Amino acid sequence: MRLQYPPDIRIIQVPCTGKVDIIHLLMAFEEGADGVFVAGCLEGDCHFREGNLHAKKRVKRVKEILDKVGLGGDRVEMYNLSAGQGGRFAEIAKEMTARILALGPSPIRIAKGLIVWPGATATGAAGEVTA
């Protein structure tokens, strides 16, 4: 079965979502990600006991941080699925892509001048970028 998901999704594999820390999620945005989703084991079925529960708490905290700084907590999400749910992974990837497209590019990317978006204004080290 060949699953298709949007080509602009970058997959970063870790042994357990419990290894994903708040700083990793925030750095993804700093590096230019418009959105991030964490796909972990089903709740109660973590190979490393409670790793996915730790990840869920961290994703929740990142949502709060993103809301406070004005980026929007909707840009990050946690999903639980088994390794045999490849079809569901592809659906999630499409859902998150649609959500992020509706939100528009990350204000960080606009501020850094990595993207010019209609109606956006940002001031960076290289001067003013307007569209």
Residues of the domain holding 92 = 17-104
Let me know if residue 71 belongs to a domain: yes
- In 3-state terms the chain splits into helix, strand, coil percentages (rounded to 5) of 45, 15, 40
Q: What is the mean pLDDT of the chain?
A: 86
125 pLDDT more than 90: no
Q: Is residue 91 part of a domain?
A: yes
What's the CA gap between 36 and 42, in Å, rounded? Answer: 19
**44 located within any domain:** yes
Q: How far is CA 58 from CA 21, 25, 76, 117, in A?
A: 7, 9, 11, 30
Q: Is the residue at 6 inside a domain? A: no
10 in a structural domain? no
Question: Alpha-carbon distance 11 to 78, whole Å?
Answer: 14
Domain presence at residue 54: yes
Write out pLDDT tens, residues 33-61.
999 999 999 998 888 889 999 999 999 99
